[in-house]
Amino acid sequence: ELQRPKKMSEERTVTLNTGSKLPAIGLGTWEAQLGEVGEAVKTALKAGYRHIDCALIYGNEFEIGDALQQCFSEGVVKREDVFITSKLWHTFHSKEEVLSACQMTLGGLQLEYLDLYLIHGPVTFKPGAMGTDDKDNLGYDPERIAETWKGMEELVEKGLVKA
């Protein structure tokens, strides 16, 4: 027997340790082209998507931010009804750099907070490296990643990140 499909907003979620509910289906914005990603975000939100996945390294957070603000102002969705994830890039793996990197992301996305902020990967790159060239890879250092994690926890304490 065929059943009417659920609305995207009624789809499965994953409950995080904070109690936040992460929608299992989301729109990824990696390799989404400038001039197209904003429309993709608006279309996805209008279609019922409630999770948008971003990262500073993708280079498109400003356009995504414009699309989000347009959808919020037009009443398509409320900010609190959209789960927004972004990621800390490998060049910002120090306690001191985590805050500035998050603020860059928040500025681009034009948001007061992120629902989830992840460490993009466990290895560290040289400052300023925005690619994945091996010559820029400083490798994995447990002490450095522990300091990065402390910076991530401070973002939660400051209310800039929920998880």
Q: Which tens digits make up the pLDDT trace of 98-126?
A: 999 999 999 999 999 999 999 998 887 77
120 near 89, Cβ under 8 Å?
Answer: yes
CA–CA separation, 100 and 129 (whole Å): 16
SS percent in the chain: helix, strand, coil, step 5:
45, 15, 40
- Separation between Cα atoms, residue 147 and residue 95, nearest integer Å: 5
What is the predicted pLDDT for the residue at 2? 46
pLDDT averaged over every residue in the chain: 89
Whole-number pLDDT of residue 78? 97
Q: Which residue in 58, 113, 117, 140 is the catalytic one?
A: 58
pLDDT of residue 27: 96
Question: Is residue 72 over pLDDT 90?
Answer: yes
Chain centroid to CA 10: how far?
Answer: 21
Residue 6: pLDDT band (50, 70, 90) is low
Residue 9 has pLDDT above 60, yes or no: no
pLDDT of residue 129: 67
Which residue do the tokens 């992460």 mark? Answer: 22
Binned at pLDDT 50, 70 and 90, residue 133 comes out as low
Contacts of 110 (CB under 8 A, 6+ apart): 65, 66, 68, 69
**Is residue 58 flagged as an active site residue?**
yes
